[in-house]
Amino acid sequence: MDGADKKELLRRMGIFLGITFGVAWLGYFTAWGCGESYGSTNFDIVMVIGSLAPFGAMLFCNKGEGVGFDPESWGISPHFRGNVPTYLLAYALPTLLAALGGLLFFAAFPGKYDQTSQTYIDAFMQAGLTREQAASAISSMLGMGVLMGPFANILLAAAELTGFLGWLLPRALKLFGGNAALKASLAVSGVWAVWHAPLYFDGYFYGKGYPGAPFTGLLLGMVFYTLLGFLLCYMALHTGSVLPGCLTRSGVTAMAAAGVYFCKGESLLILGPGLYGVFGCMALLLFCGLYALRLSRMERTGRLWHQRPKKKKKALPPKAS
């Protein structure tokens, strides 16, 4: 890529990021200025609009490039052939991460483990449920999280990832030489993490009463999203589709608090056993290390990531003599 092409690519990427960050961040600060806060119904609406911003930015940038609806260029072609194991892993990965993060937490703090979920049963009983109803409610929430979690928030996940993984990631690949897949994945996942940054000042993930708030939460949250984003980038590069990442992204949201149900007494969310805490990040780090080695090996052996087919130009009719 020559200097002029690289400059034009950076310009278009800047437009995409300007729209994506501008819509989301302007919405957050406007909501805070109006007295709304994270967790309120109106702020939830603002967050939904923010989640749609990457998709809108992709549409705008594609229009500027003369691209209409194209499943390949949008990254939404499923490419099931040869990728079924990746889809199965994407579906199961949130449960595996939640289980591993909880296992690490309770191994470090065995006194906090309560297999009967008594703390949450007591909370449900105070709300008017019987003991049997409370236990059934917890089992149902866990079961639905495992089975249906990857589909529960998949539309919002697709809006985010179609922009970041479907549009931004393929263009980031063009900016790097050696180890382009690894570098582009880290860059895009880092940008995705920064995109969420303002929310941590309003109790996102960890509340407001933890030590060092809000800066320790900001730091850990950035680590969490960077690690998760790297996994999603790997899936998109391996399959050529954002859909496996959408399953994992949705499932992580659904399973994030699964470990908390088995915690005795109050839990410090920034530590664990929820997926967003320190031990959840450790579980993510394990998978990221494995996939980073796999990406590097794929490039060294010449078996690169999925390559999108180039569009064939339509032949022009011959000019009349």
Distance, CA of 218 to CA of 223 (rounded, Å): 9
Supply the pTM of this predicted model: 0.92
What pLDDT does 156 receive?
94
> How does residue 67 score in pLDDT terms, banded at 50, 70 and 90?
confident
Contact at 8 Å (CB) between 239 and 233?
no
- The encoded tokens of residue 73 equal 């260029």
Name beta bridge partners: 108. none
For the chain, domain boundaries: 80-300
Q: How confident is the model at residue 157 (pLDDT cuts 50, 70, 90)?
A: very high
* For range 75-84, the mean pLDDT: 91
How far apart (Å, rounded) are the C-alpha atoms in residues 248 and 250?
5
66-68-74 Cα angle (round to 5): 110
pLDDT band for position 313 (cuts 50, 70, 90): very low
Q: What angle do CA 112, 113, 118 make, to 5 degrees?
A: 100
| pLDDT at 316 (0 to 100) | 46
Find the length of the chain: 321
Confidence of residue 1 (pLDDT cuts 50, 70, 90): low
pLDDT of residue 314: 45
Q: With 0-12 CB in 10 A as exposed, 13-18 as middle and 19+ as buried, what is 28? A: buried
| Sign of the torsion formed by the C-alpha atoms of 113, 149, 185 and 18 | negative
Q: Do the Cβ atoms of 276 and 256 come closer than 8 Å?
A: yes
Supply the pLDDT for residue 308.
60
| Predicted pLDDT at 305 | 61
10 Å CB burial of residue 103 (0-12, 13-18, 19+) is middle
pLDDT-derived band at 209 (thresholds 50, 70, 90) equals confident
Q: What is the mean pLDDT of the chain?
A: 90
- 87-91, 120-124, 255-259, 272-276: range with lowest mean pLDDT: 120-124
Q: What is the pLDDT of residues 31-52, one digit of tens each?
A: 999 999 999 999 999 999 999 9
**Nearest partner of 28 among 62, 12, 5, 51, judged by Cα:** 51
* Alpha helices (runs of H) in the chain, residue ranges in sequence order: 3-33, 41-64, 71-74, 84-108, 118-126, 131-152, 154-161, 169-173, 180-195, 215-239, 243-255, 278-300
Kindly state the average pLDDT of the residues 209-220: 94
Q: Mean pLDDT over residues 274-299, rounded?
A: 90
DSSP state of 80: -
Cβ atoms of residues 235 and 245 within 8 Å:
yes
Which residues touch 215 (CB under 8 Å, ≥6 apart)?
A: none
Span 262-278, pLDDT tens digits: 999 888 899 999 999 99
Mean pLDDT of 156-177: 93
The burial class, CB within 10 Å (0-12 / 13-18 / 19+), for 223 is middle
Cα radius of gyration (the chain): 22
| pLDDT band with cut points at 50, 70 and 90 for residue 3 | confident
Is a pLDDT exceeding 50 seen at residue 256?
Answer: yes
C-alpha–C-alpha distance, residues 158 and 283, integer Å: 24
DSSP 242: S
Token reading at 214 = 């809000």
Report the chain's terminal Cα–Cα distance, integer Å. Answer: 38
Please check whether residue 121 is in contact with residue 138, taking contact to mean a CB–CB distance below 8 angstroms: yes
User: What integer pLDDT is reported at residue 315 of this predicted model?
Assistant: 46
Q: What is the pLDDT of residue 266?
A: 83
